Chains A and B, each alone.
Chain A
Amino acid sequence: MFQSALKPIQSLASLKLSFVAMAALLAGILYSYFDQSQSVLWLAIPLLVLAVNLLFAMVYNPRIRQNSGLLMFHICLLALALLAALGQLTSMKGRLEIMQGQVFDSKQVTVVQQGPWHSLQALNKIVFEQSDFQVDYSQGLRRGATHSQLLVNGESFVVGDNLPFNHQGYRFYTTSNKGYAVMLAWFGKDGKAIQGAIHFPSFPLYDWKQDNQWFTPAGQLLNMTFISNKQVALNESWQLDSSQASGSLQIETAPGVQQILKPGQRLKLQGGELEFVEVRMWMGYSVFYNPWLVWFFAVSLVGVFGLTWHYYLKLGSRKIVTRDTDSVRAEHVINNA
């Protein structure tokens, strides 16, 4: 009676169910690969079934329970699924553009993904200032090393390529995105003065369309084009160096009416005057936060160790014919066959 009541529970531990759930996970991955709009449920449901299946197998299946390496491997698989879920809940991904001389402000971050348990408040604790950066290019516009200097409490850090800036658990990575920014000052006839910056599209990727638009506080639309003094060389090596950023600003105040300003020059407009203060550059970063990364790494290594141990015990004990007397005999038999 008791045994028969246990039957359906035990079938949750079945290896056949593992096979079906793994096949379903495979189908889910393929489905979401070919149709990106698919919901995450196609992966989450098979993973959940696998997790339940594995938990029951650990209780009821002696083959997995009594086999230390295999058990270790499967516990790690389960732990990885759990860590992946925790990661989804607590992690965040974002991006930002920050200008030379500018201090990081969490409001600059565009959040791309945010787990429900992640509080963006933590970003407010981050303090650093973007200093100069250099990006190397070689023939054919192939991007080389990126060196971006950050100032943190008076100390200088150089990040770029394989080296992120780690702060308060957040990782800031330089991206291929970077470009020019112009500092502008507005002096209104009403006596109000404001200063700000306009970022132009990624350079040299969009060197052919360095355009942006801006509405003056008086409501006039300005079409701006930044003309860099830096020539993009296709057939030789060169460096994009933010400390040497220079160029002029072409402003279209009305269709066909254009004016070119150099740094320090002013332009009279409706309701005030605009000054082109200076040229700077902005660097694009991606931001990543996942407090479980180290655990992910540790658990996966332990899992592989368990699997290796399992195969060592399972296969290592059985003799494999290598270049020993056995194989010489075997070759002899073959040759005389």
Chain B
Amino acid sequence: MLEAEKAFFYFSVAVFITATIINWAGLIFNKPLPKTLLASIIVAVLAAAISITLRWLQAGHGPFMTLYDVLLSNLFTLGFIFLLTYMLVVRSRPAALFVLPLLSLMALWAATTDMAPVLLPETYATVLLWIHVGVGKIFLGLCLTAFGLAAVLLMRYSIPMAGFKQMPATTELDEMAWRFMAVAFVFHSLMLISGAVWAQDAWGRFWAWDSLETWAFITWLVLGLSLHARVTWSLPAWAGWLMIILVFMLAMLTFLGVPFSSIGPHKGIM
């Protein structure tokens, strides 16, 4: 592993943590969001991008294999998707309160894993990898912002703080969170479809209920169930936020837990 790659990664970790502190200090001391927060997110994402690029150049393939690969690639993609949301959907900015610590935790987790790159299996040499992973990241990115909003809303609901008054109204944030979940559902569906096409080519079956497929399907179903629950009953808003958090937890388990604890083809080379 290159020293420069490591340096940019650790720099990204440090900046994500700094951004988290700036963000929470703003809430606790009831200050408006400073411009440095946006700047620090940009810097952190950029540093992660440079680290990935260096790794890529050295290994000759993208970060798809090890737990470190996946955490680093998520640090960049989720950070980037959140950055776009932060810049384009201004009212979703309160989500940063939970998104930034989560990204920081993910970065710290990555720092504890084995960073050595491994070879890519032959079945990964397909455009389907890009489509499947790409739509999956978009799903997780959208789900992450929804999670951030739901967590902020739950906190605002249970711990009244002056800093919350600076945020848009609860109903607006709630609606926004569900918008993110709705679009995330579309991307999750695309992830399942592209995954099935790839699995058919690579392993000769489009669906096999292996650990990862099962948990991905469970996440999709629970997300569909939550969207249904909202149109079926007039549930209290907090119940909805809990559902969003549950879906996000399932998604994280599927993306970061299952592939590294099961021995299936998704784990890589067999």
Indicate if the CB atoms of B204 and A18 lie closer than 8 Å: no
Q: Which of A19, A146, A307 contacts B122 (CB 8 A)?
A: A146
B29 close to chain A: CB less than 8 A: no
Q: Given A142-B119, A330-B90, A334-B32, check contact A307 B186 (CB 8 Å).
A: yes
Residues 150-179 of chain A, each 1 if its beta carbon lies under 8 Å from chain B, else 0? 000000000011111000000101001000
Q: Which of B91, B193, B225 contacts A19 (CB 8 A)?
A: B225
Of B4-12, B142-150, B227-235, the one with at least 4 CB within 8 A of chain A:
B227-235
CA distance A334 to B186 in the complex (A): 33
Min C-beta distance of A316 to chain B, whole Å? 10
Indicate if the CB atoms of A300 and B193 lie closer than 8 Å: yes
A254 close to chain B: CB less than 8 A: no
B260 close to chain A: CB less than 8 A: no
Interface hub of B90, B205, B209, B225 (most chain A Cβ within 10 A): B90
Which residues 147-169 of B have a CB within 8 angstroms of A? 165-168
Which residues 318-337 of A have a CB within 8 angstroms of B? 320-323, 327, 330-331, 334-335, 337
Q: Given A19-B225, A19-B228, A173-B204, check contact A322 B90 (CB 8 Å).
A: yes
Indicate if the CB atoms of B190 and A304 lie closer than 8 Å: yes
Residues of B in contact with A (beta carbons under 8 Å apart): 32-33, 87-91, 118-119, 121-123, 125-126, 128, 165-168, 176, 179, 182-183, 185-186, 189-190, 192-193, 196-197, 200-206, 209, 211, 214, 217-218, 221-222, 224-225, 228-229, 231-232, 269-270
CA distance A337 to B203 in the complex (A): 58
CA distance A142 to B122 in the complex (A): 10
A15 close to chain B: CB less than 8 A: yes
CA distance A235 to B183 in the complex (A): 47
Interface hub of A287, A293, A321 (most chain B Cβ within 10 A): A321
In the complex, residue of chain A having the shortest beta-carbon distance to the beta carbon of B179:
A315
Q: Given A323-B88, A323-B90, check contact A33 B209 (CB 8 Å).
A: yes
A201 close to chain B: CB less than 8 A: no
Q: Which of B32, B122, B193, B205 contacts A161 (CB 8 A)?
A: B122
In the complex, residue of chain B having the shortest beta-carbon distance to the beta carbon of A305:
B186
Min C-beta distance of B57 to chain A, whole Å? 19
Q: Given A18-B228, A161-B202, A322-B89, check contact A307 B214 (CB 8 Å).
A: no
Residues of B within 8 A of A19 (CB): 225, 228-229, 232
CA distance A163 to B269 in the complex (A): 17
CA distance A131 to B87 in the complex (A): 58
Residues of A within 8 A of B167 (CB): 334
CA distance A143 to B146 in the complex (A): 40
Residues 21-64 of chain A, each 1 if its beta carbon lies under 8 Å from chain B, else 0? 01101100110110000000000000000000000000000010
Indicate if the CB atoms of A16 and B232 lie closer than 8 Å: yes
Can you report 17 residue pairs joining A to B where beta carbons are below 8 Å apart? A19-B225, A22-B224, A32-B209, A93-B205, A142-B118, A142-B121, A144-B119, A144-B122, A162-B125, A164-B201, A288-B200, A301-B193, A304-B190, A311-B186, A315-B179, A322-B90, A330-B91
Min C-beta distance of B200 to chain A, whole Å? 7
Indicate if the CB atoms of A300 and B89 lie closer than 8 Å: no
CA distance A242 to B242 in the complex (A): 58
CA distance A161 to B125 in the complex (A): 9
CA distance A303 to B54 in the complex (A): 40
Q: Given A15-B231, A33-B209, A145-B122, check contact A163 B201 (CB 8 Å).
A: yes
The 10 A-B residue pairs whose C-beta atoms are closest, nearest first, are A173-B204, A327-B90, A15-B232, A161-B122, A162-B201, A286-B204, A321-B91, A145-B122, A300-B193, A335-B32
Indicate if the CB atoms of A296 and B206 lie closer than 8 Å: yes
Residues of B within 8 A of A195 (CB): none
A297 close to chain B: CB less than 8 A: yes
Residues of A within 8 A of B121 (CB): 142-143
Residues of A within 8 A of B125 (CB): 161-162
Indicate if the CB atoms of B90 and A15 lie closer than 8 Å: no
In the complex, residue of chain B having the shortest beta-carbon distance to the beta carbon of A336:
B32
Min C-beta distance of B228 to chain A, whole Å? 6
